Amino acid sequence: MEIWINPACSKCRSAISLLDAEGAEYTVRRYLEDVPSEDEIRAVLERLGLEPWDITRTQEAEAKELGLKEWARDAGTRDRWIVALAEHPRLIQRPIITADDGTALVARSEDAVREALAHDKA
């Protein structure tokens, strides 16, 4: 299992604490330092079953500078969103957990982290 985190994020720290409490084996990816490529973002989106705008933090200053709220959310602009996430990783929702069974989820709640743990043990 891998978890994409920003150590400054309280939800990321909570997720790590829960994973540790459950004795889970995982790899931490500090995605602001080890920035995911466009292909990695595409792969995670496929595993999540989401579109790039679904995992975009639109309240970030960078999102406002880019005018993301005005961008279309359709197949024609999907690649543009993915490029923006790769170029501005701070815009990616966190934490994202990818389980060994091929699933992934945005683990912003304790329940979501527990779901990831269940998938990882499957």
In this prediction the pTM is 0.93
The whole-chain average pLDDT of the chain stands at 94
8 Å CB contact between 98 and 2: yes
Which tokens go with 24?
């889970």
C-alpha 116/C-alpha 71 separation (Å) is: 31
C-alpha 112/C-alpha 15 separation (Å) is: 9
Give the tens place of pLDDT for each residue, 33-90: 999 999 999 999 999 999 999 999 999 999 999 999 999 999 999 999 999 999 999 9
8 Å CB contact between 12 and 94: yes
How sure is the predictor about 1, in pLDDT bands with cuts at 50, 70 and 90? very high
C-alpha 65/C-alpha 46 separation (Å) is: 27
- Neighbouring-strand partners of residue 2: 27, 98
**Active site residue: 2, 9, 62, 78, which one?**
9
Q: Is 9 assigned a catalytic role?
A: yes
How sure is the predictor about 122, in pLDDT bands with cuts at 50, 70 and 90? low
